[in-house]
Amino acid sequence: MDRFQPRGVIPACLLPFDDDLRIDEATFRRHLGDLAAVDGISAITVNGHASEVHALSFDEQARVLRIAREALQDRTRLIAGVFTSNWRQAAEIARMADHCGADALLVFPSEIFSLGGQARPEMAVAHFDAIASATDLPMVLFQYPLAGGMGYPLETLVMLCERYPTIAAIKDWCQDPALHERQIRTLHSLPRPVRVLTTHSAWLLPSLVLGCDGILSGAGSVIADLHVALWRAVQGDDLAQARRIHDRIYPTTRAFYREPLVDMHNRMKEALVLLGRLPRARVRAPLVPLSVEEKAQIAELLLAAGLTPETVYHNHTAPLGV
């Protein structure tokens, strides 16, 4: 394959567990197959937040990658998360991902940045140096909100993109519309333009209209068809169609992205259980199961979005009846 340039609709897949909280490999393969069959996606991301990477061992992350590469074959590209605060382990994960067939890396910030790392850009350099020294795979830099201390100030973001030519895109979760637009304009204007993939799933339409180059979101594990339909409508400058599709997406936003956000991917698993796409919604500690009341709310909001077991992923050429 030629070198991957991240763009378009990229679901971040969920990771099913069995009743003993082991990886449910058979169900995971079916989940990957469901996503890969959606017409219009450009890649699938594993070992991200949606995959509960925080609760996976190194060996489990490698196993997830091997299963994904085997299941996907050449049907679509594969992006692997690099989630660790340990620079040696970051390099080890990057090498492993390259060896296991990843086409690109999604690089999470080191959690130690939250203690004031924004004032020390050389810390970010050290983190990316370790990864870039281990592989030349394209990198997607994960941009967090500045308020939490783990986001990169714009000056640091630009410096990293200029310093590391393998940074092909950012996954933008700055949660600030004005900064989001500035980052898009700034990164697009660099001598070597860097793409911006939005993960602002709670305000996806305005984010795309600002000029993003794609969507990288855990919600794509449930509504990949709607993401593709919205992406195509915005790319075609069909605002009326984009608004109609966004009206379909809005109830799922309410289902997944209310407080506390720590449960967003837990809710997505429950949604796929309700839609008949997963047999169970087990999560590893410290995540805990949702209440009966919240599951009922998710069911109501899925119906409001027109999502039923008969529609989800069963029509891969049209956007779920839009």
Cis peptide before 286 (omega within 30 of 0): yes
- Give the pLDDT score at 308: 86
Number of compact structural domains in the chain: 1
Contact by Cβ (8 Å): 247, 239:
no
Would 315 be classed as within a structural domain? no
- Grouping H, G, I as helix, E, B as strand and the rest as coil, residue 128 is helix
Cis peptide before 260 (omega within 30 of 0): yes
**What is the reported pTM?**
0.95
Which segments in the chain show pLDDT lower than 50?
313-322
Radius of gyration of the chain (CA): 18
Rounded Cα distance, 110 and 123, in Å: 9
Would 19 be classed as within a structural domain? yes
How many Cβ atoms from other residues are within 10 Å of residue 159's Cβ?
15
How many Cβ atoms from other residues are within 10 Å of residue 63's Cβ?
16
- Give the pLDDT score at 311: 60
Would 123 be classed as within a structural domain? yes
Structural domain boundaries enclosing 63 = 8-236
- Grouping H, G, I as helix, E, B as strand and the rest as coil, residue 194 is coil
For residue 46, give the CATH number of its domain: 3.20.20.70
- Give the pLDDT score at 1: 55
Would 267 be classed as within a structural domain? no
**Structure token pair of residue 233:** 């409508």
Would 52 be classed as within a structural domain? yes
What are phi and psi for residue 282, nearest 5 degrees?
Answer: -75, 140
Would 62 be classed as within a structural domain? yes
Would 276 be classed as within a structural domain? no
Residue type, 138: P
pLDDT tens track for 253-292 = 999 999 999 999 999 999 999 999 999 999 999 999 999 9
DSSP-assigned letter for residue 168: E
- Sign of torsion, CA 202 108 170 103? negative
Quick one: angle between helices 121-134 and 87-99, nearest 10?
Answer: 30
Would 105 be classed as within a structural domain? yes
Residue type, 72: L
